[in-house]
A and B are shown apart, each in its own frame.
Chain A
Amino acid sequence: MPAVSLLVVIVAFACSPLLSGTPLQPFDVYNALQGFAQLGLPALAIGITMIAGEFDLSIVGTYALGGMLAVSTGVSSPALGVLAAVAAGAAIGAAQGALIARLRIPSMPVTLATYIALLGLTYAISGGLSKTYPNSDVTLWVDQTLAGIFSPRSLLTLAVFLIAAVVLGRTRLGRELRAIGGDRRASRVAGVGVDGLVIGLFTVSGTLAALGGALLSYSYASANPDPGLQPLILAAVAALLGGVSLAGGRGTPLGLLAGALSVALLAQIVAITALPDFTTQLLYAALLAVIVAIESPGLRALLDRFRASRADRPQTLS
C-alpha cells in the first residue's frame, strides 16, 4: 500500500508538466520536500501510536505549543527553543501515556481533552495572537536550499524517519509495538511489558510533534496558536496511506515516510498544475475511501472464508 501510493503519486508528479505546460523545476521538488518537512514529524508521531493501536489526537496541541515555546524561548539561542519545546512535548506525552497505560483508558478521549487543554495553554501564552520570531538568521538557515532540493529542515525530518526506521526495524521494540497494537491480550500473555511501552510511545509522539512545531515556527518566523484540526487530519491521512491501520498492529516508519511524501507531493502537484484547492480534498477523500473499503471487516470475512477453505484441506500442510 505505501509503495503503491508513493509510486502513483511520483508518476503523477512527473506527469504534472503535461497539465501545467511548464517543465518540472528542482524548486518544485524542494517545495514538495518542504511540505513533507511540515507534515512528516506529526505524521510519524501519530503513525507510531496507531501502529500500537492507540490514537494520539493531542499531537496538534503539542505541535502548536512546541512552536509557541520555541518562538518564545529561542530568540537568542534557537537550540534552546527547540530544547524547551521538545522537553514540554516529552513531559506532556509521558503524563498522558502514564494515565492511559495505568488506567487502561482509551487514548482517544484522553488525548482529545489534552489537545483542548494545550490549545488553551498556547492561546494563554500568546494572548491568542500569532507570535513573530525576530531571529531572521535562523529562519533563513532552516529553509536554505541544500543540493538543489533539500533544506536543513527537510533533511532533519528525513533523518528522524531513518532513526525511527532503524530503531523499530533493528530492535525488538518494533515487533513489540506491533504486537501490542495487533493483540494486546496475547502480548501480555506472551510477556511483553505493555505499560512501559505505551508510556514510552506517548513520550516519543509528544516529543516528535513538539519538534515538528518548533521547526515549522522557525521556518514561518512566527507561531500560530491555533493550527486547527487540519495538521492532525493530514498526519492521519499520511499514516493511513503509509500502510498503518487504525486497528493497530500494522505499519513501519518507512511506510509512514512514503505516506507523508505522498501527501506532500499530492499537495505540490495540485499547486503546480494550478488545480483548484478542493481537488486535494476530493483526492484525499477518494484515497481514504479505498482504505475504508480495504479495511472493512466485510471484505476481510470474505478473505477469511477463502483462506479457511484452503486450510480445510490438510494436505496443504505437508
Chain B
Amino acid sequence: MIQIDGLTRAFHGVPAVSGVSFTVGAGEIHGLCGHNGAGKSTVVKMLTGQLTPDSGRIVIGDEPVELRSRQAAQRAGVALVDQELSVVPALTVGENMLLGDIHAPLVNRRRAAYAHCRRVLDDMGLEGIDPDQPLSTLSIGEQQLIEIAKALSQRARLVILDEPTATLTDVESASVFAAIRRVAATGCSIIFVSHRLAEVLELCHSVTVLRDGRKIATTPTADLTVDALIVQMLGEPPFRLAAARKPDHDLAHALRISGLRVPGRLRDFSLTANAGRIYALAGQLGSGASDVLRAVAGLHPTAIGTVELHDRPVPVRDPVAAARHGVAFLSNDRKSEGLFLDRSVGWNLTATRLPFFARAGVLQPRRELVIARALAERSGLPEHRLGDPVAALSGGNQQKAFVGRCLGRDDVFALLLDEPTRGVDIGGRAAIHQLLRRAADAGLVVLFASTELDELLELGDVIVTMRDGQIVNRYDGDVDVDGVLLMRDMTRGIA
C-alpha cells in the first residue's frame, strides 16, 4: 500500500503542489488526472526521487521513505515509465529490460535472464517480441511497450506510468492495459497518469484529480463519467462565443494540405487554411498535431502528402525548400531545436533573414542593426539586450526572440508554431498571442498546435481537434465551442 500525505513543493516561492494526499491500495490501479500545470508531473517527480518535497510524507508499505534519487526510489520499489524513453535502441529487448536494474547480477546468466524477460513479455501479451531482438527493429510504440515491460520486470511495489499510451495505437494500448491489470493482480500498486480520460475510466479503480496544485477529489471510477471528470479538472470551463472568432468563408485559400501522412504518427490529415486567420490544432501528446507542423516544415523524413502554399507546391521532407517557399516553423523545443542559445539576441532575431541586409553575400552591419532594433521593438524585447546571449533571457523573452525571427518578412506566408507559449509566464503569453494575431492581420496563415485549452480558445479562429493521428472535429469561426467540447474530442481514448 502506498500512502501520500500532504505533499507540498514550491518553485521560487510559487507553489506547484500543495498538500496533496491520496492512498493507493495493494493491487489498485489509481488514475491521476489534471489539466496542464495542475501539478501531476511534480507529484510524479517527488514519488520517483527526482524532486524532494518541501513537506509531506510518502509511505510505502508500513514505513515512511525518503526518496533522494532515482536509485533510492528504485531501491524502495518505485518504478517509472516516463514519457521520455529510457530505452537504448542499440541494445536488444532483453538487455534493455535489465539495463540499470539494481537487482541484475554482474555476471550474466543468459538462460535465466532470457526466461525472465520472456515471462514478462508473455505477461504483457507480447509473444511476438523476442528478448534477443534488437530494440531498433521495433516501432516507437513497441519500444514504449518495452519501456513498460522494463518497469514491470524490476519487481516494483509501485509502478508509475506517466502518459504511457500517448503515442500508442489502440492495439498496443490494449496490450498495455492487459499487462497492467495482470501486474496489479499480483498486489503491485499502479499510478496511471493520462490525458485519455476514457482510458482512465476503463482501467483505473479510482481517480484523483488535481487542479492548480491542489487535490480536487478522489472518486471511484464507478461513480464517474468522462464529462464529470472534465468538470473536475477544469472547474469553470473556458468558454468562448462564436462571435469573437473570425469566420473565413469568404477568403481565398492560401495553404492547402492534403493526404498528409507520417507513418506511425499521422494517419491522414487534410486542411485548407486562409491567409489572415489563425488555425489551432488541439491535440494531446501523440495526437499527431505537432507532426502536422513538422511534416509541413519538411522535418519528417518519412512524411508523404501534398502541401500547397499560394498555389505553389511545397516539397515535403526538405526543410530548406519549405523555408524557401515561405514556411516558417517554430519547434516546441526552443532550447535544442529553436534558438542559438549562446548567440546574441540580435543574431537570433536575424538568423533566417540574412539576405535582407546583405549585398552580394556581404553583410551590412548598419542595416542589420536597424532591422534587429525594429524587430526587437516589434517583438517587445528591450533594445539594450540585443547584444546579450539569448540564454540569458527569461523564458518569455526567449520565446519572443524566437517568434520575432519570423515576423516582418515578406517572404514568409505561413507561420507554424508548436506550443507557442510553453514555459512562458502569463504576461509573456499575452504578448506572444498579440504578436501572432498581428502576424495574421498582416496576411499570414498562422497554424499552431497546443494542448492548452485557454490558448486554443483565445487564439484560434478555426479549431481543429486531433486524436490518434487524425482529425476529430473542425470548429469554424461561426460555431460555438467550449473547453468541455475540446477536451472530450482530445481525450477520448479507446472505449
Chain A residues near B (Cβ < 8 Å):
169-173, 175-176, 178-179, 181-183, 186-187, 189-192, 248-250, 301, 304-305, 307-312, 314-315, 317-318
Per CB-CB distance, the 6 closest pairs between chain A and chain B, nearest first, are A182-B90, A249-B90, A311-B139, A191-B100, A190-B100, A308-B263
Which residues of the partner chain B approach A248 to less than 8 Å between Cβ atoms? 90
Instruction: Decide: A317 near B142, CB < 8 A? Known: A172-B105, A192-B100.
Output: yes
B170 to A314, Cβ gap below 8 A? yes
Query: Which residue, A169, A178, A186, A310, has most C-beta atoms of chain B within 10 A?
Result: A186
What's the minimum C-beta distance from A195 to chain B, rounded to whole angstroms? 14
Which residues of the partner chain B approach A304 to less than 8 Å between Cβ atoms? 301-302
B85, B87, B98, B137: the one contacting A307 at CB < 8 Å is B137
* Docked pose: A73 CA to B90 CA in angstroms: 43
What's the minimum C-beta distance from B337 to chain A, rounded to whole angstroms? 15
Which residues of the partner chain A approach B264 to less than 8 Å between Cβ atoms? 308, 311-312
A172 to B175, Cβ gap below 8 A? no
Which residues of the partner chain A approach B91 to less than 8 Å between Cβ atoms? 175, 178-179, 182, 249
Which residues of the partner chain B approach A311 to less than 8 Å between Cβ atoms? 138-142, 263-264
Chain B, residue nearest A190 (CB): B100
Which residues of the partner chain A approach B89 to less than 8 Å between Cβ atoms? 182-183, 249
Which residues of the partner chain B approach A171 to less than 8 Å between Cβ atoms? 106-108
Instruction: Decide: A191 near B71, CB < 8 A? Known: A179-B99, A305-B263.
Output: yes
A181, A309, A310, A315: the one contacting B90 at CB < 8 Å is A181
Q: Determine if B95 is an interface residue (Cβ-Cβ < 8 Å).
A: yes
A175 to B172, Cβ gap below 8 A? no
B172 to A317, Cβ gap below 8 A? yes
Which residues of the partner chain A approach B87 to less than 8 Å between Cβ atoms? 186, 190
* Docked pose: A308 CA to B128 CA in angstroms: 17
B82 to A317, Cβ gap below 8 A? no
What's the minimum C-beta distance from A250 to chain B, rounded to whole angstroms? 6
A-B pairs with beta carbons under 8 Å apart, 5 shown: A171-B108, A182-B88, A189-B82, A310-B139, A314-B169
A179 to B88, Cβ gap below 8 A? yes
Q: Which of B78-128 contact A (CB under 8 A)?
A: 82, 84-91, 95, 98-102, 104-108, 128
What's the minimum C-beta distance from B269 to chain A, rounded to whole angstroms? 14
Q: Determine if B74 is an interface residue (Cβ-Cβ < 8 Å).
A: yes
Q: Determine if B70 is an interface residue (Cβ-Cβ < 8 Å).
A: yes
What's the minimum C-beta distance from B347 to chain A, rounded to whole angstroms? 24
Q: Determine if B171 is an interface residue (Cβ-Cβ < 8 Å).
A: yes
Chain B, residue nearest A51 (CB): B90
Query: Which residue, A181, A182, A191, A305, has most C-beta atoms of chain B within 10 A?
Result: A191
Chain B residues near A (Cβ < 8 Å):
70-71, 74, 82, 84-91, 95, 98-102, 104-108, 128, 137-142, 150, 169-172, 175, 263-264, 301-302
Which residues of the partner chain B approach A310 to less than 8 Å between Cβ atoms? 139
Chain A, residue nearest B102 (CB): A191
Which residues of the partner chain A approach B100 to less than 8 Å between Cβ atoms? 187, 190-192
* Docked pose: A192 CA to B71 CA in angstroms: 10
* Docked pose: A192 CA to B100 CA in angstroms: 5
Query: Which residue, B70, B86, B100, has most C-beta atoms of chain A within 10 A?
Result: B100
* Docked pose: A179 CA to B263 CA in angstroms: 27
What's the minimum C-beta distance from B342 to chain A, rounded to whole angstroms? 16
A305, A314, A318: the one contacting B128 at CB < 8 Å is A318
Please count the residue pairs between chain A and chain B whose beta carbons lie under 8 angstroms apart in the complex.
105
* Docked pose: A173 CA to B107 CA in angstroms: 9
Instruction: Decide: A172 near B98, CB < 8 A? Known: A308-B139, A311-B141, A314-B169.
Output: yes
B263 to A309, Cβ gap below 8 A? yes
Instruction: Give the interface SS of chain A, mostly helix, strand, loop or mixed.
Output: helix
Instruction: Give the interface SS of chain B, mostly helix, strand, loop or mixed.
Output: loop
What's the minimum C-beta distance from A17 to chain B, rounded to whole angstroms? 40
Which residues of the partner chain A approach B99 to less than 8 Å between Cβ atoms? 175-176, 179, 187, 190-192
B95 to A175, Cβ gap below 8 A? yes
Which residues of the partner chain A approach B70 to less than 8 Å between Cβ atoms? 189, 191
A249 to B88, Cβ gap below 8 A? yes
A170 to B107, Cβ gap below 8 A? yes
B108 to A183, Cβ gap below 8 A? no
What's the minimum C-beta distance from B108 to chain A, rounded to whole angstroms? 5
13 new A-B contacts at CB < 8 Å, known A172-B105, A248-B90, A308-B264: A173-B106, A178-B91, A187-B99, A189-B70, A190-B86, A191-B74, A191-B102, A249-B91, A304-B301, A305-B301, A307-B137, A309-B263, A312-B263
* Docked pose: A314 CA to B142 CA in angstroms: 10
A172 to B128, Cβ gap below 8 A? no
B86 to A308, Cβ gap below 8 A? no
Which residues of the partner chain B approach A305 to less than 8 Å between Cβ atoms? 263, 301-302
* Docked pose: A250 CA to B101 CA in angstroms: 21
What's the minimum C-beta distance from B467 to chain A, rounded to whole angstroms? 16
B86 to A172, Cβ gap below 8 A? no
Which residues of the partner chain A approach B101 to less than 8 Å between Cβ atoms? 191
Which residues of the partner chain A approach B74 to less than 8 Å between Cβ atoms? 191
* Docked pose: A192 CA to B99 CA in angstroms: 7
* Docked pose: A304 CA to B106 CA in angstroms: 34
What's the minimum C-beta distance from B332 to chain A, rounded to whole angstroms? 18
A250 to B107, Cβ gap below 8 A? no
* Docked pose: A189 CA to B85 CA in angstroms: 9
* Docked pose: A295 CA to B101 CA in angstroms: 31
Query: Which residue, A176, A192, A312, has most C-beta atoms of chain B within 10 A?
Result: A312
Which residues of the partner chain A approach B150 to less than 8 Å between Cβ atoms? 190
Which residues of the partner chain A approach B98 to less than 8 Å between Cβ atoms? 172, 175
Chain A, residue nearest B89 (CB): A182
Which residues of the partner chain A approach B90 to less than 8 Å between Cβ atoms? 178-179, 181-183, 248-250
B171 to A317, Cβ gap below 8 A? yes
Which residues of the partner chain A approach B175 to less than 8 Å between Cβ atoms? 317
A186, A250, A315: the one contacting B86 at CB < 8 Å is A186
Which residues of the partner chain B approach A189 to less than 8 Å between Cβ atoms? 70, 82, 84, 86
Which residues of the partner chain A approach B138 to less than 8 Å between Cβ atoms? 311
A183 to B88, Cβ gap below 8 A? yes
Query: Which residue, B70, B107, B301, has most C-beta atoms of chain A within 10 A?
Result: B301
A172, A250, A308: the one contacting B108 at CB < 8 Å is A172
What's the minimum C-beta distance from A127 to chain B, rounded to whole angstroms? 45
Instruction: Decide: A308 near B104, CB < 8 A? Known: A178-B90, A179-B91.
Output: no
A172 to B172, Cβ gap below 8 A? no
A170 to B108, Cβ gap below 8 A? yes
* Docked pose: A140 CA to B170 CA in angstroms: 71
What's the minimum C-beta distance from B48 to chain A, rounded to whole angstroms? 11
What's the minimum C-beta distance from B133 to chain A, rounded to whole angstroms? 13
What's the minimum C-beta distance from A318 to chain B, rounded to whole angstroms? 7
Chain B, residue nearest A175 (CB): B95
